Amino acid sequence: MKNIIIILTFLFALSCKQEVQAQNEVGDVLSVEQFEQEIQSDDIQLLDVRTAEEYEEGYIGDATNIDVLKTDEFKQEIQKLDKSKPVYVYCRSGKRSQKAAEILEEEGFETIKDLDGGYNAWSEKH
């Protein structure tokens, strides 16, 4: 009986952890390889959410730079994007792009893809 209680407690804790992780991530988080393959399409929007200074140091493809830390400006600028087309988003390491993904979702964007590890991970592979 004691073992059953321990097992049930463990399973409950594990399910809670997975639910919290799912709630924290918005959109699909892609590896560098997946991200690189999918951004080859002409029918996507590539968004760099780092600062202008970071962007000038290097960026991916023809990414549009909109600093997510400037929240009001970010919300205003993303209104110029097509909400029905996929948005591929990245930052330096992945934290800001998740914030951007949350805002994009709140604003009605349908498909949001995030680069796992951000530009740092991209730079390591390129």
Condensed to tens digits (0 to 9), the pLDDT of residues 17-35 reads 443 343 345 679 999 999 9
Would residue 96 count as lying in a domain? Answer: yes
Would residue 9 count as lying in a domain? Answer: no
Residue 102 has pLDDT above 60, yes or no: yes
Would residue 72 count as lying in a domain? Answer: yes
Domain count, the chain: 1
pTM exceeds 0.85 for this model: no
User: Over the stretch 79-101, which tens digit does the pLDDT of each residue have?
Assistant: 999 999 999 999 999 999 999 99
Range of the domain at 32: 27-125
Would residue 18 count as lying in a domain? Answer: no
Q: What is the dihedral of CA 73, 76, 82, 84, to 10 degrees?
A: 100
Residue entry with tokens 């918005």: 26
- Give me 5's structure tokens: 């209680």
Please state, in angstroms and rounded to a whole number, the distance separating the CA atoms of residues 111 and 86.
5
pLDDT at 118: 97
91 included as an active-site residue: yes
Do 92 and 98 form a contact (C-beta atoms < 8 A)? no
Q: What is the mean pLDDT of residues 24-50?
A: 91
Would residue 64 count as lying in a domain? Answer: yes
Residue of 91, 101, 104, 115 marked active site: 91
Domain with residue 47: its CATH number is 3.40.250.10
Would residue 14 count as lying in a domain? Answer: no
Would residue 38 count as lying in a domain? Answer: yes
Would residue 32 count as lying in a domain? Answer: yes
